[in-house]
Structure 1
Amino acid sequence: MPRKLAALASVLSAGALLLTGCANPSTGSAEDDPSKPVTLKFWHGWSEESEVKAIDASIARFEKLHPNIKVKATGNVTDATVNQALRAGGNDAPDVVSSFTTNNVGQYCSSGMWVDLNPFMKKTGLDKAKVFPKTLLDYTSYEGDQCALPLLADAYGMYYNKDAFAEVGIKRPPRTMSELRRDAVKLTKRTKSGGYQRVGFMPNFRLYQNSPDRLFAQWGPSYFGKDGKARLAKEKAAKEFYATTRELIRSQGGYGPLETFRTSFGDEMSSQNAFLTGKLAMHMDGEWRGLFMKGAKFKWGTAPLPVPDDRPETYGRGYLTGTVVGIAHSSTHQNAAWELVKFLTADTDQVVAFANAIHNVPSTKAALTSPKLDSDPTFRAFLDIAQNRYSTALPPSINGGQYVTSQQDFSYGVEAGKVHDLDAGLRKLDDEIDADNLQAQN
């Protein structure tokens, strides 16, 4: 959804704010009585009319269960704005905060600006391991500090044009990378002038949601070693990933022609989206894309992304991310704030209702299997991806999403043919990530 793009755009500015002047956030209190009348301030990033309507409905359900707690919600708030307010503290700061940027959880936890929720869960008997999938717990914690909880999730998979598949005699979506390359070539259709009418699968990293870390997840890579140091140069998966994307590009005409075609695409969230208009036969995207496909003039389906040829047992996996929510360290109403966080994240009926309303993946084990969940089979594919034991999320880091940005910049050079020595390039990338992490610690 549009919020995904806003989240990506705010990563660097949010990270910069977290890394400067935030070591001693304003201290709040967890001594309040949650049964007493109180008004909580809840800041979130949702801005689309349907999304705001859904979050307001969630708050109304909470207030009905907790008539003594009123919630004043403020939407369309960026991470940068939240971080400024939490550093300043005081009466104007929020009590409950959410973020679309899971990459920043390491900073939220290590800076102390979001409180550790483990004591609240212990006090109220919430067993996080029983409630939430492990991967979602991993991206909401840092070094044992559970400073956030998942508030719906996003899973990445493949959208494919069934009519285009039938046209060239392909009977099912590709399951391995070699099948993806073979099918992409078959599905690519040229114009008489030599341009493209349709591309089978465009791996270009600047395309819509094609951030390199998302396709890279199909290899299940380890970004950091046990010592905390970046280890992409030591990852066989990294070399295989870049070799695969290079071959996908080469076999469909080369980077230059594909990039020229990409620049002709309409806006991702518009009716001119390249998959919706038939310019892409296969496309990586999240579960929310289904909401935008109602006007499609062709039959389409969803499936997991392919996996490396030597790991067929991992088929069904995908990249996971999502919204996170926590309690501001400066809040003087932390027990009441926990009641809201607990309701939004762990109440099964609430999680299902919210997931159905904004077409996101539920973030609890019970909600993922609820019979009340949207039964649309194209949505169900993403539920399966979210529950697949091989699915992965990005590891938290003290410097937030900076290492992801470094990998993106490196990947742009690889796909454009500017990185001639991949091993040396990956070693340099590791050094850059380690230097950024060291700076964040000082």
Structure 2
Amino acid sequence: MRRIRAAAAGAVTVSMLTAVTACGGGSSTGGGSNDSPKTLTYWASNQGASVEVDKKVLQPELDKFEKDTGIKVKVEVVPWSDLLNRILTATTSGQGPDVLNIGNTWSASLQATGALLPWDAKNFDKIGGKDRFVDSALGSTGAEGKDPAAVPLYSMAYALYYNKQMFKDAGISKPPTTWDEFVADGKKLSKGGKWGAAFEGSNPAENIHHSYIFAKQHGADFFTADGKPDFTNDGAVAGVKQFVDLMAKDKVVAPGNAEYAQNQSVSDFAKGKTGMLLWQSASSNLESQGMKADAFGIAPVPVQSGTPGTGTNVNSMVAGINLAVFKDTHNLDGATKFVKFMTSDAEQKVLNKAYSSIPPVKAAQSDPAFNTPATAVLKDTLAKSGVALPQVADESQFETAVGTAIKNLFADAAAGKPVTTASVKAALEKAQTQMPTK
């Protein structure tokens, strides 16, 4: 999901997530559904450098759809900071859109509300079949064993972006492949008011994405095999501590990053304030902020061993955006046609080029734009070394509780307070008490 870009959600209440008032359609007040078969409402997630950028990307495509079908799409680009709460409110109030983007990490949580249209074989057939989509993308569309709650729209992976000139000036010949190398390079870059890397300590979802990967690299998960929270196991604690230590102990991240939220780390990197960035499919975002494509390099996110792959060598969550339909839309036929249009081979090429993401539709990946050295890193990561975040009903609460706990640990680091194994475990223990009890 991001970002990614990635989902940065506010507090998610248990009552909202467990409510099964599946009433997505409703009046048009607040952006709700419309009885007209010639109109659709669509909530798009903020994928570009700004809401305005997204409108420029999307409107020509929506105009194409209207010309082809006679159906006008009223789009609202919703910032990530608001999107999850807006969706959850819509599931209980009936004041929702017909079609909406969701961060793929939320799929199982939103599926549990009962508000989204299940994509069974019959519905998939209406858009060309389930086998058109890449398996890794389908793995983040809902709980295992259930019909998907959404359809993959954009696929993304985390990569390491590095400033070529800053690396050259610091005497660094190649991007780091291990975290030890990352820290060593970060210290060389952290001079003269510039820093080795940037993070968004106030962005709970970004915190989750990074710490989840660190935990996986320590052989751990935040949930047991039967879906129960397990936030305080040794590997999870070690992973979170290693992540926060990039600021607290290693000092390759500026203390001010503890207050950074959406896109601020990307902006710092684009402006040459930091030498490295860990981000989802960032090329178009960086270029839209004035950074030339040949000024930065792209490499896999480091792992403990230096060789990305399966098992403990995973280096990205399977990031992405899914397209969902509210089950009670008053224009199901039009909504289905819109999903078919957005996931068509032609539109997949247009939209994923615009956002530097990877098409989750197999046929669209053959386009030369998705076979450059830069996109090869992302495709390879998705195919070989990316894992889906837990597809459990309580995933959204997990993002909020643990993401906020890490936000507070970053605040401690910025204030000069010690971040210890004990303090990390205590923060995660508190987060676990905030999870729903079955």
Shorter-chain TM band: 0.7 to 0.9
Corresponding residue for residue 116 of structure 2: 114
Residue 308 of structure 1 aligns with an amino acid whose one-letter code is Q
Residue 259 of structure 1 aligns with an amino acid whose one-letter code is P
Q: CA deviation at 1:109?
A: 1.1
Corresponding residue for residue 349 of structure 1: 346
The 5 Å alignment of 1:208-247 reads 210-214=206-210, 216-217=212-213, 220=216, 221-234=220-233, 236=235, 238-243=237-242, 245-246=244-245
Aligned equivalents of 2:214, 2:129: Cα separation in 1: 30
Residue 394 of structure 1 aligns with an amino acid whose one-letter code is L
Which secondary structure state, in structure 2, belongs to the residue aligned with residue 44 of structure 1? strand
Deviations 1:236-268 (CA, angstroms, capped at 9, x unpaired):
254145246426642337x8xx315x4798994
Corresponding residue for residue 180 of structure 2: 178
**Which residue among 281, 291, 294 is the counterpart of 1:287?**
281
**Which residue among 379, 393, 398 is the counterpart of 2:388?**
393
Aligned equivalents of 1:160, 1:209: Cα separation in 2: 22
Corresponding residue for residue 32 of structure 2: none
Q: Is the 8 A contact 2:201 2:260 kept in 1?
A: no
Aligned equivalents of 2:384, 2:244: Cα separation in 1: 25
Q: CA deviation at 1:64?
A: 4.7
Unaligned runs of 5+ in 1: 29-36, 192-196
Deviations 1:254-285 (CA, angstroms, capped at 9, x unpaired):
x8xx315x479899459x93223322111212
Corresponding residue for residue 324 of structure 1: 322
Corresponding residue for residue 136 of structure 2: 135
**Which residue among 253, 271, 281 is the counterpart of 1:277?**
271
Q: CA deviation at 1:376?
A: 5.8
Q: CA deviation at 1:428?
A: 1.6
Which secondary structure state, in structure 2, belongs to the residue aligned with residue 43 of structure 1? strand
Aligned equivalents of 2:308, 2:395: Cα separation in 1: 32
- Cα–Cα, structure 1 residues 424 and 81, in superposed 2: closer, same or farther, change >3 Å? closer
**Which residue among 296, 299, 310 is the counterpart of 1:303?**
299
Deviations 1:88-108 (CA, angstroms, capped at 9, x unpaired):
44xx75332223x33432232
- Residue 205 of structure 1 pairs with residue 201 of structure 2: yes
Which secondary structure state, in structure 2, belongs to the residue aligned with residue 342 of structure 1? helix
Which secondary structure state, in structure 2, belongs to the residue aligned with residue 55 of structure 1? helix
Aligned equivalents of 1:112, 1:199: Cα separation in 2: 46
Aligned equivalents of 1:85, 1:245: Cα separation in 2: 35
Corresponding residue for residue 250 of structure 1: 249
- Cα–Cα, structure 1 residues 290 and 124, in superposed 2: closer, same or farther, change >3 Å? closer
Which secondary structure state, in structure 2, belongs to the residue aligned with residue 236 of structure 1? helix
Aligned equivalents of 1:148, 1:186: Cα separation in 2: 44
Corresponding residue for residue 33 of structure 2: none
Corresponding residue for residue 163 of structure 1: 165
Aligned equivalents of 1:6, 1:174: Cα separation in 2: 24
Q: Is the 8 A contact 1:181 1:248 kept in 2?
A: no
Q: CA deviation at 1:147?
A: 1.1
Aligned equivalents of 1:356, 1:223: Cα separation in 2: 34
Q: Is the 8 A contact 2:241 2:420 kept in 1?
A: no
Q: Is the 8 A contact 1:218 1:318 kept in 2?
A: no
Corresponding residue for residue 21 of structure 2: 24
Corresponding residue for residue 436 of structure 2: 437
Aligned equivalents of 1:188, 1:207: Cα separation in 2: 23
Which secondary structure state, in structure 1, belongs to the residue aligned with residue 56 of structure 2? helix
Q: CA deviation at 1:288?
A: 3.3
Q: Is the 8 A contact 2:24 2:328 kept in 1?
A: yes
The 5 Å alignment of 1:416-431 reads 416=413, 417-421=418-422, 424-425=425-426, 428-429=429-430, 431=432
- Cα–Cα, structure 1 residues 209 and 231, in superposed 2: closer, same or farther, change >3 Å? closer
Corresponding residue for residue 92 of structure 2: 87
Aligned equivalents of 1:231, 1:267: Cα separation in 2: 28
- Residue 59 of structure 1 pairs with residue 81 of structure 2: no
- Cα–Cα, structure 1 residues 223 and 342, in superposed 2: closer, same or farther, change >3 Å? farther
Corresponding residue for residue 30 of structure 2: none
Q: CA deviation at 1:411?
A: 2.3
Q: Is the 8 A contact 1:233 1:430 kept in 2?
A: no
Aligned equivalents of 1:202, 1:85: Cα separation in 2: 34
Aligned equivalents of 1:112, 1:104: Cα separation in 2: 13
**Which residue among 366, 378, 381 is the counterpart of 2:363?**
366
Aligned equivalents of 1:86, 1:247: Cα separation in 2: 39
Corresponding residue for residue 96 of structure 1: 99
Q: Is the 8 A contact 2:134 2:362 kept in 1?
A: yes
Which secondary structure state, in structure 1, belongs to the residue aligned with residue 110 of structure 2? helix
- Cα–Cα, structure 1 residues 74 and 83, in superposed 2: closer, same or farther, change >3 Å? farther
Residue 384 of structure 1 aligns with an amino acid whose one-letter code is D
Aligned equivalents of 1:280, 1:321: Cα separation in 2: 24
Tell me whether 319-328 or 373-382 shows the greater mean CA deviation.
373-382
Q: Is the 8 A contact 2:55 2:77 kept in 1?
A: no
Corresponding residue for residue 29 of structure 2: none
Which secondary structure state, in structure 2, belongs to the residue aligned with residue 19 of structure 1? helix
Which secondary structure state, in structure 2, belongs to the residue aligned with residue 421 of structure 1? helix
Aligned equivalents of 1:208, 1:377: Cα separation in 2: 31
Aligned equivalents of 1:147, 1:278: Cα separation in 2: 41
The alignment-based identity, stated in percent, is: 21
Q: CA deviation at 1:404?
A: 1.6
- Cα–Cα, structure 1 residues 214 and 206, in superposed 2: closer, same or farther, change >3 Å? same
Count of matched residue pairs? 406
Q: CA deviation at 1:114?
A: 0.3
Q: Is the 8 A contact 1:3 1:45 kept in 2?
A: no
Unaligned runs of 5+ in 2: 26-35
Please, what is the CA RMSD of the aligned residues?
3.8
Residue 211 of structure 1 aligns with an amino acid whose one-letter code is N
